[in-house]
A = this chain, B = another copy of it.
């Protein structure tokens, strides 16, 4: 590759003049600058990141290191990574993403990450998981995106599931629905309690007795097959005992749609359906399109990145609003 040296030679100036042309053009005489500029353009010179980083010249070459968990299994979350990348780029920061296959980074993963000398670290996971941060990493600025850790005072940007669920159920009840059936995420998932609380708070606001609610949880992360049995238990003689189905995520809603439609029920006339996640490129394809709650991946990524860039001094879980996406399934 071409380096400052080549440019300097072509322009007939010293290395420093080229360097200045890149960072402090105003310190050069206009004509010298032009000459250097032309040489730069002709050689298509781009300064080397590595050389800049090596000097600790941190103004031009800071980088955010991202440990990404679950990207393979929950691909919708690329949005989080994209958002981090965009935010970083705007601030002139670089991003190095390392996808993790296991739950917690291996020593090899950590070495690779540290070899890039990141100025800050983001730990991201899907499904709001509890992750384990190795000691070696705690010396660097570190934020969590869409996950939590044992060390609860670490800054963590997470979806405000309580509020998201509250708002959505409140919206549903205000439409007149009164007999909800809820199929929540597995109990061990971090979101479970928040969703539960949000739903109950909304129900109370409408005077629904908490113990009158039909509530179920999936037994495991991918036990979507259980949806059928739950629904059938509450569809008697083809008539559902519930007027709205509150799903722990859009996947459950997808299963439910097929089951309900297959049993001759109309959505939302016979049964309304509420999702959670707003799976990109999927939620719109439901017929009718799914009303759901959006997981704010973009905003989470943006805030996690800004946290590092601006060296914010916040700690603990930072709830990020989950907007309701009102379509026509209720």
Contacts and interface: CB of A to CB of B under 8 A. Distances in A.
Contact of A79 (B72, B76, B114, B136): B72
B46 A115 contact: yes
- Which applies to chain A's interface (DSSP): helix, strand, loop or mixed? helix
B117 A1 contact: yes
B264 A287 contact: no
Interface in A126-141: 136
Contacts of A46: 111, 114-115
Nearest to A264: B264
A78 interface: yes
A85 B75 CA distance: 15
B117 A49 contact: yes
A93 to B, nearest CB: 11
Interface stretch (A29-37, A175-183, A251-259, A314-322): A251-259
Interface stretch (A50-58, A147-155, A205-213, A238-246): A50-58
Contacts of A251: 281-282, 285
A289 to B, nearest CB: 10
Nearest to A258: B287
A127 to B, nearest CB: 11
A75 B76 contact: yes
A285 to B, nearest CB: 5
Interface of A: 1, 44, 46-51, 53-54, 71-79, 81-82, 85, 89, 96-97, 99, 111-112, 114-117, 136, 224, 228, 251, 254-255, 257-259, 261-262, 264, 266, 280-282, 285-287
